[in-house]
Structure 1
Amino acid sequence: MTHPSDVVDADAEAQGDRGRLDTWLDGIAHLCIMVAGVLLVWLIATFGWLVFGRYILNNTPTWVEQSALLCVVYITCLGAAAGVRNNTHLSIDMVRERMPSAWRKAMCHVADLFVTCFGVFMAWQGGLLVLDNLERPIPMIGLSESWRAAPLVICGLLMVLFSLVNIVRRLAPRPKGEG
């Protein structure tokens, strides 16, 4: 026979696990935003240097364009992954919010399944690009072209993680104290 305090303890433990997982996932999303922010500052600074070098020094730094292209890929992919965690990326919910509750829930699952499939595809194809381009250097900066494809793998895996957690959370039974 189960004692009522055992049920309360199990609910509190499950809530604690949810809290730790949310804290961890929110931390990853926040790290993505922070790295993207630092790269955005770097992008702005390097373009400032490009303009200064071109028009003041009459000596254009050739590495800036390739560096900027690399930064833009990381900024975009990290921001997209964080957007999936924060439910702000590709979020068109006008139609969904006008549906009955059961339809809304189903549409949320379908949307998360599409994001999961897209993330798997992106990580897989990005991984193939990483492997195919290990020996090719990026012109002017000398890094491997694989550095351009790496954010696809990172973003794809994070999108899968974040969207699967959304699905599991919706399917999991809620403790009695929660709505």
Structure 2
Amino acid sequence: MSSFSEKMNDQSPASASRTAFDGFLDGIAQLCIIVSGILLVFLIATFGWLVFGRYVLNDTPTWVEQSSLLIVVYITCLGAAAGVRNNTHLSIDFVREGLPYLPREIMRYIADLFVTCFGLFMAWQGWHLVLENLERPIPMIGFSESWRAAPLVICGVLMVLFSCTNIAKRLLKSRKG
């Protein structure tokens, strides 16, 4: 086990820039979580307004349903991207962790490759949806339907970035050690 001072003395320019890049990626993931949290608060407030309007004012706000559907997509996609960065995404790892070192590492690479492929597909198809729906408005709120597909592109790109970074870090670590 190495001490903190040993780790600090081992800071080469390559590892320092990698640390800065990791900090940048952590910042992006944190921003995703913050935006998702703010949107979740807004979602709760709009549903409170829906209930108040329906049962107290007897005048249901019609925009709440469509805006809520839009907000849920952003919360889900941003949270999923942050989950890939923070390794908190949905996974069943008790089988992998019970294996010896080499098969366990191979399974980690395979999992990251699957996430990368899924992210590429999601970004690519999401981009097509964005382009195809530019002129179609969302009922009741009037925004372009492309706003519903934009989180797919954002999440897909971030998932690719985060999972490729995981692969690169693991490869660099295996070459050094």
TM-score, length of structure 1 as denominator length: 0.90
Off by >4 Å, runs of 4+ in structure 1: 173-176
Kindly indicate whether the alpha-carbon contact (under 8 Å) linking 1:11 and 1:175 is maintained by their aligned counterparts in 2: no
Taking the aligned partners of 1:173 and 1:56, their CA distance within structure 2 comes to 61
Instruction: Identify the residue that residue 120 of structure 2 maps to in structure 1.
Output: 120
2:12 is paired with a residue of what secondary structure? Answer: helix
Instruction: Identify the residue that residue 145 of structure 2 maps to in structure 1.
Output: 145
Alpha carbon RMSD of aligned pairs, Å?
1.6
Instruction: Identify the residue that residue 78 of structure 1 maps to in structure 2.
Output: 78
Superposed CA deviations along residues 96-128 of structure 1, whole A, max 9, x for unmatched, are: 000110111110000000000000000000000
Matches within 5 A, 1:153-172: 153-172=153-172
1:102 and 1:174, CA in 2 relative to 1: closer, same or farther beyond 3 A? closer
1:172 is paired with a residue of what secondary structure? Answer: helix
Q: Which runs of 5+ in 2 are unaligned?
A: 1-8
1:36 and 1:161, CA in 2 relative to 1: closer, same or farther beyond 3 A? same
After TM superposition, give the deviation of residue 91 of structure 1 in Å. Answer: 2.0
Instruction: Identify the residue that residue 52 of structure 2 maps to in structure 1.
Output: 52
Number of equivalenced pairs: 169
Superposed CA deviations along residues 13-53 of structure 1, whole A, max 9, x for unmatched, are: 12211210110000000000000000000000000000000
Q: Which runs of 5+ in 1 are unaligned?
A: 1-8
Instruction: Identify the residue that residue 28 of structure 1 maps to in structure 2.
Output: 28
Counterpart amino acid of 2:136?
R
Counterpart amino acid of 1:21?
F
Matches within 5 A, 1:127-142: 127-142=127-142
Taking the aligned partners of 1:37 and 1:12, their CA distance within structure 2 comes to 37
Taking the aligned partners of 2:18 and 2:101, their CA distance within structure 1 comes to 24
1:58 and 1:100, CA in 2 relative to 1: closer, same or farther beyond 3 A? same
